[in-house]
Amino acid sequence: MTNELQDRAAVVSGAGSGIGRAIALRFARAGARVALLDVAAEAAAEAAREIEGAGGMAAPFPCDVTRQADVLAAFAAAAERHGPVDVLVNSAGVAHVGNVERTSEEDLDRLYAVNVKGVYNALRAAVPAMKGRGGAIVNVASVAAMVGIPDRFAYSMTKGAVLTMTYSVARDYIHEKIRCNAVSPARVHTPFVDGYLARDYPGREAEMFERLSQTQPIGRMGRPDEVADLTLFLCSEAAAFITGSNYTIDGGFVSLKM
């Protein structure tokens, strides 16, 4: 246990798996009271049980981030349980593989609803509660927001929006003591990666995993806990002078790519 977020109420979306789950667990170890939002109710509940079993404070809140009423209700229930939100992490997101010709209208709408509208809905719920008191927000973007990646048309579009929303909120609420930053991972080894390889490359999972790992100059994928540690720093008082920034966590993908 550490104390970077002692006595802080934190809300993490997409907290049932992957990066969001790692962030929720890390925040709890840092002393936060964590509200875990996820459309997968049992996954969020399991993560909350893990936190409480380790002596932390957490509660799951089933929530579809694409529905503003759901998000507002989840924030209200979390505030009743843990107090007004001090820290928000927008981690909920979905992926898509395809160029513009292989991106259907349904694909685009689905990614927009989760990755863009979902972030907007959580910001819309958190910012009024933070005004005057201050708070810290981290939005999980992607290196896809900054560089051209093959076959990521819709995903790149949404993560670019996440990044520009970050800058907008940071600028608009700097005098309300609200800090807003983004983290932009490259490939991170999550259950999504394993599922993608099993579905698209059956029998070649190990080969393709190694190939994807080598796209990072450092020679491996990131780990969810590494993204969680960076996110914790940005939400802590150690980062009190940081707002409106985007932090890549990418094994050199953006700056060292040859």
**Residue-by-residue DSSP string for 99-124:** -GGG--HHHHHHHIIIIIIHHHHHHH
Which residues have CB under 8 Å from 109's CB, separation 6+? Answer: none
- Paired tokens of 48: 């909350």
Which one-letter amino acid corresponds to residue 87? V
Q: Which of 155, 167, 173, 247 is catalytic?
A: 155
User: To 5 degrees, how large is the angle CA 94–CA 95–CA 96?
Assistant: 135
Asked if 155 is an active-site residue, the reply is: yes
Q: How many residues does the chain have?
A: 258
Please give the backbone phi and psi of residue 200, each rounded to the nearest 5 degrees, phi first.
-95, -20
Other C-beta atoms within 10 Å of 192: how many?
15
The set of catalytic residues is: 155
